[in-house]
Amino acid sequence: MKTIYTCVFILTFFISCDTASDLSLEQTTNKEQFHRIASELPRNAANPYDTAGWIHNALFESYYENTSNPKNLSAIISRVEALANTNANFISIKTSSYHPVSVERVQYLLDHSKTCVGDVISNSTLSAGAQLSFTTFINSLLTTFNGESTSDDLYQFVSEYEKGILNTTLLTARDKQIILITTSIARHSTYLAKKKPKKNTDPDWIIFVGNVIAAADGAEYGSAEAIVMGLVTGIAQN
């Protein structure tokens, strides 16, 4: 657990030293606030884009309720988008300028697993400070997930980072939107993965590319795109 607290301190330091100090103190004194009842987790009402995470997990589970899912990437995209378009909550956040998922873009992420984090973030519209903070967060999230962490540990890790993002005045509204859409999906998907690990899959890849960096790529356009991009990429790797 000490490692998780240290990572959170480092992550928020890139945004605001004062915020980081406050969070470090809270982590050791207010741990109880994170142990919410199961029906509420992994909700973080403070994140204005938290709907993205709920919808992502709902569609993920709906997809795997069918035992005969497609293997072809184009067919996977079609199935995910068809499921999404029957979900009222997804429809409510899907804008008229919705940007469809590209087969070529998903394939690129799948083919460049070693460099896609740097590629996606460096080519994003995030400011320089946001890119540094977000890159550190994603890499630390992967380390935390692969360690001896529980679903509650991961919830705490992500929500503390979100608190730092929400409280800082050093990031733009655009920075916060892209990051908070992605962290919502990251928090919900990592929590689900620890609570209900899927059989015969590689959780490391699902969290790293499918549910986080691909979601960040889609978040450039909006919540709906982040959800579908994250789902498709994770499913395609399976």
Convert the pLDDT of each residue in 17-70 to its tens digit.
Answer: 343 333 333 333 333 333 333 347 899 999 999 999 999 999 988 998 887 888
Measured CA distances, 178 to 7, 22, 64, 175, 182 (Å)? 21, 24, 27, 6, 6
H helix count then E strand count, the chain: 13, 0
Q: Per-residue pLDDT tens for 203-220?
A: 444 555 567 889 999 999
* DSSP assigned state of 31: G
CB 52 within 8 A of CB 87: no
> Are 121 and 135 within 8 A, CB to CB?
yes
149-180: pLDDT as tens digits: 888 999 999 999 999 999 999 999 999 999 99
Segment 104-121 mean pLDDT: 89
Q: Where are the domains of the chain?
A: 60-237
Q: Tokens for 6, please give them.
A: 């240290």
CB atoms within 10 A of CB 68: 4
**Whole-angstrom distance, CA of residue 83 vs CA of residue 88:** 10
Question: How far is residue 101's CA from residue 76's CA, in Å, rounded to a whole number?
Answer: 11
pLDDT band at 195 (very low <50, low <70, confident <90, very high): confident
Percent of the residues in the chain that have a pLDDT greater than 90, as a whole number = 56
The reported pLDDT for the residue numbered 199 is 53
- CB neighbourhood size of 30 (10 A): 9
For 85-199, where are the alpha helices, taking DSSP H only? 88-93, 103-111, 116-122, 128-146, 151-167, 173-195
Element (DSSP H or E) covering residue 225: helix 223-237
Q: Where are the beta strands (DSSP E) in the chain?
A: none
d(CA 28, CA 133): 22
Mean pLDDT of the chain: 81
